[in-house]
Structure 1
Amino acid sequence: MSESTIVTTTEGYAPVNGLQMYWRSYGEGGTPLVVVHGGFGLVDTWGGLLEELAERRQVIAVELQGHGRTADIDRPFARESFGDDLGALIEHLGLEQVDLFGYSLGAVASLRAAIQHPDRIRKLVLVSTVYKSDGFFPEVREAMAQVGSGGFEMMRHSPAYAAYAAVAPDVDAFPALMDRTGDLLRQPYDWTEEVRALRPPTLLVYADADSVPPSHIAEFFALIGGGLRDANWDGSLRPASRLAVLPGRTHYDITASPLLVPTVVDFLDS
Structure 2
Amino acid sequence: MGYVEVNGVRLWYEEQGGGRPLVLLHGGFGAVETLAALRQAFAARRRLIGVDLQGHGRTADIDRPLRYESMAEDVAALIVQLGLGPADVLGFSLGGGVALRLAIQRRELLRRLVVVSAPCRRQGWFPEVLAGMPDPDETAGERMRGTPSHQLYQRLAPRPQDWPRLWAKTGELLRREYDWSAEVAALTTPTMLVCADADSVRPAHMVEFFGLLGGGHRDAGWDGRDRPGARLAVLPGLTHYDIVDSPALPAAVLPFLTHPAGPPT
Q: Same fold (TM over 0.5)?
A: yes
The structure 1 residue matched to 2:11, chosen from 14, 21, 26, is 21
The separation in 1 between residues aligned to 2:4 and 2:143, in whole angstroms, is: 33
Matches of 1:137 and 1:177, distance apart in 2: 23
Deviations 1:178-218 (A, max 9, x none): 01001101110111110000111111000000112232111
Distance 1:61 1:17 in 2: 18
CA shift, 1:147, in A, is 5.6
Map of 2:54 onto structure 1 = 65
> How far apart, in 2, do the equivalents of 1:15 and 1:63 lie?
13
Structure 1 letter corresponding to 2:219: D
How many Å separate the matches in 2 of 1:14 and 1:255?
26
Return the letter of the residue paired with 1:195.
V
Cα separation, partners in 2 of 1:244 and 1:148, compared to 1, 3 Å: farther
Q: Which runs of 5+ in 2 are unaligned?
A: 260-265
Displacement of 1:47 after TM fit? 2.7
Q: Secondary structure at the match of 1:62?
A: strand
1: CA distance, partners of 2:65 / 2:154: 22
The 5 Å alignment of 1:108-147 reads 108-144=97-133, 146=135
Number of aligned positions between the proteins: 259
Q: Please provide the CA RMSD for this pair.
A: 1.1
The one of 196, 205, 217 aligned to 1:207: 196
Question: Identity of paired residues, percent?
Answer: 51
Offset of residue 116 of structure 1: 0.3
Partner letter of residue 131 of structure 2? E
Please state how far the C-alpha of 1:92 moved relative to its aligned partner: 0.9
- Aligned ranges for residues 70-89 of structure 1 at < 5 Å? 70-89=59-78
Of 213-222 and 126-135, deviating more is 213-222
Aligned-partner Cα distance in 2 for 1:194–1:244: 21
Equivalent residues in 2 for 1:102-251 (5 A)? 102-144=91-133, 146=135, 148-251=137-240
How far apart, in 2, do the equivalents of 1:98 and 1:63 lie?
17
Q: TM-score, normalised by structure 2?
A: 0.95
Instruction: Determine the structure 2 residue equivalent to 1:55.
Output: 44
Q: State the partner residue of 1:45.
A: 34
| One-letter code aligned to 1:220 | F
Q: Where does structure 1 lack aligned partners over 5 or more consecutive residues?
A: 1-10
Q: Structure 2: how far apart are the matches of 1:96 and 1:218? A: 29
Q: Distance in 2 between matches of 1:141 and 1:165?
A: 27
Question: Hey, what's the Cα distance between the residues in 2 that align with 1:193 and 1:92?
Answer: 30
Q: Say if 1:132 and 1:81 are closer, same or farther in 2 by CA, change over 3 A.
A: same
Match of 2:262 in 1: none
- The residue identity in structure 2 corresponding to 1:168 is A
Give the counterpart letter for 1:110 in structure 2.
A
Q: Give the whole-Å Cα distance in 2 for the aligned partners of 1:217 and 1:49.
A: 22
**8 Å contact 2:66–2:173 — kept in the other structure?**
yes
**Structure 2 counterpart of 1:265:** 254
- What secondary structure, in the 3-state scheme, does the structure 2 residue paired with 1:240 have? coil
CA 1:148/1:266 → structure 2, altered by over 3 Å: closer, same or farther? farther
Q: Residue type matched to 1:20 in 2?
A: R
Post-superposition, which runs of at least 4 consecutive aligned residues in structure 1 deviate over 4 A? Answer: none
1:137-170 per-residue CA deviation (whole Å, 9 max, x = no partner) reads 1111111153642223442111111111111100
Contact kept, 8 Å, 1:45 with 1:163, in 2: the verdict is: no
TM-score (norm 1): 0.93
Q: Is the 8 A contact 1:26 1:51 kept in 2?
A: no
Q: Secondary structure at the match of 2:85?
A: coil
